[in-house]
Structure 1
Amino acid sequence: MMTIESTLPLRVYLVEDDEDLREEMVLHLARAGFEVQGLADAPAFYKAHALARCDVAVLDIGLEGENGLSIAAQLRASGPFGVVMASARGAVQDRIDALQQGADVYMVKPIHIEELVATIRMLGSRVRAVAPPLNPPAAAPGWLLKEGDWLLCDPAGRQLKLTTIERAFTAQLFQAEGAVVSRDQLIESIGGNPQEFDPKRLDVVASRLRRKAGQAGLSLPLHTVRGEGFQFVRPGRKEPDESF
């Protein structure tokens, strides 16, 4: 079945600090039918991504400040995205490093625009095949995740901005629609390996999220279920036994 999301143009964020090259590539990608935005650095990317998450990011490795490899690693912890890494360096080890950091494709500059267009379309199709709905059902009536899941909103309309880890953690709970989510599932959702990850770090994430919510005036229905995991409890349901 074709969804509304599948008929929308792919949203592409191109992060390149060379202004002339950035503008040229944005023009070509727009002509190819993408909804494309050119960005100069990591802070600009994160701001745009918080407002509307992209399907595919094209990242220059050699950015000033936070580089493209770091951005790719952050993306991998926050959900399904296509990542194209671009660099003037073509050594095998450079390619391996980029792929290990989360790149799907490594392209050496100068990039042929036709190849980039085909690559973006391929990655975008994969991403949309596995991505969750744009507006997932709320875990509890009145509670919503908005703006690409970066804002948690309570029934009164109060909002809490989430970090990358908090966003992945909360989105996993919302997808469970009030059911208990195991610690292993939550560890994987934030990019960790259950065999290596210290499970107590999840308690730290939950505790910090509760504290931030309280400071913002939100009464967060997030509960720790002893021996099982975490639950975003629906109003009127019996609350589980907790262990903090």
Structure 2
Amino acid sequence: MQLPSEPPPLRIHVVEDDDDIREETVFALGELGFDASGFGDAAGFYRALVVAPCDIAVVDIGLPGESGLSIVAHLRALRSIGMVLFTARSTLDDRVAGLRGGADAYLVKPVDMVELAETLKAVGRRLRASHVASLPAAAPDAAAAAAIGAPAQWSLHEGGWVLSDPQGRRMTLTATERAWLGCLIQRQGSAVSRDDLIAALGGDVFDFDQHRIDAIASRLRRKADRLGMRLPVHSVRGTGYVFAT
């Protein structure tokens, strides 16, 4: 009898601007059985997400440029990614703000690596238990659809980071594009308001440049056109956008 295979190790991205802390944390997590990588700022982290999405991000709040709280706000719509804040800020207000902002856990430095590891395992268990229920049902890709006689559809793959069309062409998405397009595909055929799209991006409807919504749509259409894909994203006057074939 074939035994069930072990799940792959959790992939962890550590976003920490202190070189020593980042390197020590990545090394310790590797020794404890995780697939860990480190990044010094938000920009490097976002670039890595496009190439190799992580299961959980361990994020320092006090980063140069974009803060850890901002990263959590941008990624909170991506429910397949866990987020652990890892910071020297220890006040109750800081902890409450981090958890309300979307973090799964809040750890105050210095953190024992065993405690961090157990926290990551707990978040990972929750993610894996809810993964199927939390993601929209994936449509079969072109090859699979042909094999079972079902019509191929537009669908998201690889945790939502790759969009495929009915002909099997594929387009890799950035974190912003993934959140924006994922919101539309979850409600395919129904108009999605600008406010809902802003919320999916982790923005504040009262302090958000509305032109960014249109800029994302335009950028996605151009990317799709270069790949020979006709992206079925349509503007709905006075409302927002709809994904409708």
TM-score > 0.5, shorter chain as reference? yes
- In 2 relative to 1, CA 193–90 (structure 1 residues): closer, same or farther, beyond 3 Å? closer
- Maintained 8 Å contact 1:50/1:147: no
Q: Which blocks of at least 5 consecutive residues in structure 2 are unaligned? A: 142-150
- In 2 relative to 1, CA 77–111 (structure 1 residues): closer, same or farther, beyond 3 Å? same
- In 2 relative to 1, CA 212–165 (structure 1 residues): closer, same or farther, beyond 3 Å? same
Q: State the match for 1:13 in structure 2.
A: 13
Normalized against structure 2, the TM-score is what? Answer: 0.71
1:22 maps onto 2:38 in alignment = no
| Bigger mean CA deviation after superposition, 162-171 or 102-111 | 162-171
Shift of 1:217: 3.6
Aligned to 1:7, the other structure's residue is in SS state coil
Shift of 1:124: 0.8
Report the Cα distance in structure 1 between the residues aligned to 2:211 and 2:22, rounded to whole angstroms: 43
- Maintained 8 Å contact 2:80/2:159: no
1:88 maps onto 2:88 in alignment = yes
Coordinate RMSD, CA, aligned: 3.9
- Maintained 8 Å contact 1:54/1:81: yes
Q: How far does the alpha carbon of each residue in 1:141-171 deviate from its partner, in whole angstroms, 9 at most, with x for none?
A: 3755455433434466755443434313433
Aligned to 1:70, the other structure's residue is in SS state helix
1:137 maps onto 2:139 in alignment = yes
Normalized against structure 1, the TM-score is what? Answer: 0.72
Shift of 1:98: 1.8
- In 2 relative to 1, CA 192–129 (structure 1 residues): closer, same or farther, beyond 3 Å? farther
Q: How far does the alpha carbon of each residue in 1:207-243 deviate from its partner, in whole angstroms, 9 at most, with x for none?
A: 553344235542223457899x73443xxxxxxxxxx
Shift of 1:31: 2.0
Q: State the match for 1:107 in structure 2.
A: 107
| Bigger mean CA deviation after superposition, 214-223 or 81-90 | 214-223
Report the Cα distance in structure 2 between the residues aligned to 1:162 and 1:192, rounded to whole angstroms: 19
Q: Which blocks of at least 5 consecutive residues in structure 1 are unaligned? A: 234-244
Q: Between the two proteins, what is the percent identity of the paired residues?
A: 44
- In 2 relative to 1, CA 95–214 (structure 1 residues): closer, same or farther, beyond 3 Å? same
- In 2 relative to 1, CA 93–56 (structure 1 residues): closer, same or farther, beyond 3 Å? same
Q: State the match for 1:239 in structure 2.
A: none
- In 2 relative to 1, CA 189–119 (structure 1 residues): closer, same or farther, beyond 3 Å? same
- Maintained 8 Å contact 2:46/2:175: no
Mapping of residues 113-192 of structure 1, within 5 Å: 113-132=113-132, 136-138=138-140, 141=152, 145-146=156-157, 148-154=159-165, 159-172=170-183, 180-181=189-190, 183=192, 187=197, 190=201
Q: State the match for 2:69 in structure 1.
A: 69
Shift of 1:189: 5.0
Q: How many residues align?
A: 228
Shift of 1:45: 1.0
| Bigger mean CA deviation after superposition, 90-99 or 118-127 | 90-99
Q: State the match for 2:242 in structure 1.
A: 230
- In 2 relative to 1, CA 53–5 (structure 1 residues): closer, same or farther, beyond 3 Å? farther
